[in-house]
Structure 1
Amino acid sequence: MKRLLPLLLSLTLLCAGCGAPAPSGGSPSAPPAESSGPAPESSGEAAVPGQTPETDHLPETDPLPEADSDPAESYTLDKAFTTGGRELTARLHGTIDRTDGCERCGVYKIEVLEGETVLQTLLVKDAIDAACAAAGTENYGDEDRTNYFTIDSGLALEDLNFDGCPDLRLIQALGTVNASWLCWLWEPENSRFSYAFELVGFELTADPETRQIITQARDGWGLYYTDCYQYNSGAGKLLHVGQMVENFCLEEAAEPEDALVSVWEYLPNVSVELKYATADNFTGQVIYDSADARLRLGTLRKLQKAQDRLGAEGYRLLIWDAYRPPEAQWKLWELCPDPNFVSDPNRGFSRHSRGSTVDVTLVTLDGEAVEMPSGFDEFSPLADRDYSDVSDTARANAERLEQAMTAAGFRGYDKEWWHYSDTTDYPVIQ
């Protein structure tokens, strides 16, 4: 699940078609507004040569290509800005591709000039490579330029790290819903830009009051994400500090509350690593063969409430075990016939077999593990809920999880900090 959100969002970045997208106005299907964030001290723009090069009004000196010639036309565009009392220019170098009647405009290089002196050259390929590396992927297409549908609407000069200097934000791609932005930060001490991060969404704003960058994005599962980021100058990176989710798929579910449904289908913002679907558990054996976590729909609604609270605090739920078929409970009992650790199916099945109990822990919004009292299925006092023998950090994280789950309508088991049952009772699912 760690890589789920980038994967889901990247699927929406496929081009929707030819021509310019609909004007942005904050709607989910519109490209992002380019006026967000604080304005630089001064700004201006000039096409080189002549007028601003709209795709259907190119200068006469830049004729359309012949049918058998290279379909790409070159263009340059200047964006003036002032920082630290210095008047500088960001000069974009790009191409317009009219293949098959489409107009695909892309930037492959940005020069930073003071007068006619080139202070720095930024290659878009380097930024795309860095963005792919940060996401744990490769630039398989060997992309070396941006891909968007208007020449000059994709660049913004705004203060993204709130240090008083305008930074660069360039649309890398537009899709049917979301866009991705490549962001360079201005380094006053070095008088240069350095690539810093990539962001995804249909809207982006820089809020100087909270000193946060806020993005809104949508995926294909009926989820709308509002993510908050804060730039940490000491760490030199953007930190994901909060997330709010509108789950229209769950709100509009047609199934009854007692239906056993897929967590993946309804709560893709919750991570899943089912321990008993692998040999990574205390038995060293696979207990059930399905990696699809399932729970009652009513239980999922409560789990979403817990995730909403935790997401705003910068955390995500990770599920270790959900619905456990009765045959899996029998197998566990055969391997470990100890009622202190495993429910005896001869006397009644585990509440996991009701589809209303879940074993969960916390990870960061980006999927990194956080310190908790113990690992999963720890058969020692570390697993209980008094937290007297664990670190302050582990105690705080366990209490954060407990408060969110309890407020959402779950009750915990005093011998296992990770175990929570829905307060609504359901029968065993045979």
Structure 2
Amino acid sequence: MNATATTPARTVLISGAGVAGPALAYWLRRHGFVPTVVERAPALREGGYAVDFRGEALDVLDRMGLLERIAEQDTEMGDALLVDGDGRAYATLPSVVFAGELEVLKGDLTRMLYEVTRDGVEYVFGDSVTGLTEDADGVEVTFERGAPRRFDLVVGADGLHSRTRALVFGPEERYVRHLGIHTAVFGLDNYLGLENTGRLYAAPGRAANVFTTRADSGARAAFHFASEGPLEREDRHDRARQQRLIAERFADDGWEIPRLLREMERAADFFFDANAQVEMETWSKGRVVLLGDAGYCAGPTSGRGTSQALIGAYVLAGELAEAGGDHVAAFAAYERELRGYVTEHQAMGREGAERFFGPAPTQEVLDAIAARAAGQARTAPVRLRDYGLRVARAARVA
């Protein structure tokens, strides 16, 4: 691909309408670019797990003028109890460990980002990128359903299994590093009557949890189990086979596991995937650049995926604006700004995965982890310059 910069870039195709894609579209629009977002799903993805914000990610929401609105969706999660096979509590997990400074359901966040961008951004749902051909002045893009179109730049914000990354950089096996955990997440009724709390159960090589959602009208459950590597390709999109695998792993467990397995089978929003990281020497090639999990996933055990998506979107758009649309200079600056930040978070993700199925912790150990988490709200510093914008700032959440 030819990386030579000619005329300044203005039109940008973003693949993926999760968190990173719409956040980038917001900032690109503010800087005068013309973004288009294409999303494989037929509509915004609802459900999903809770996501939390820490450190500079709150600053980005503040600069978007969204912090107060998102804070209204806070799960208000309190501490959770660790239980044994008979349902007896043996320790308390402080919320700072898993809920960050602010926690919302991912579906609530993506919906809000869509709402604040839809009037000025073109969204194309139910389609995906199938080919990218670059020349000196742009990228010719082919789609699964729509007619070919041409853009100045293309951004892959399409997650861990990024098709954009595969088209430009090669198969995901080159870049995706399995962390030894598979996770299933699904919604269910709050039949346990929990209120702003959760229950966590663990056994050797497996764990399960249930947490309430906002206003306690529902709950989210998850199964986790140790695995040596990714599933076979045919299992990645076969819900029945995935659920049979989970049922086999948890067949002899107590607590609420039998009920949760039944709830899993009838859940409308079942999600299953490996816990993994993406490690790449560079996040761009020619006129194509990767954002968020597509380029530098730190893994769920880092607790930083959403924060990286928001901060990465802000910095990428800002660097493109500061470079006057010169993508070569902008992509290099984007990577310089974020590389140390991402490297630290990936180390945290690996450490979290290594201790995920460790021995049942004592209360003293959990309190020490909580104290450490409270001091890690801001990890490796990343600059959040104004990039020439008069950014909106709302009141900071206490």
Q: Choose 1 or 2 for highest CA Rg.
A: 1
Normalization by structure 2: what TM-score? 0.23
Greater strand share, 1 or 2? 1
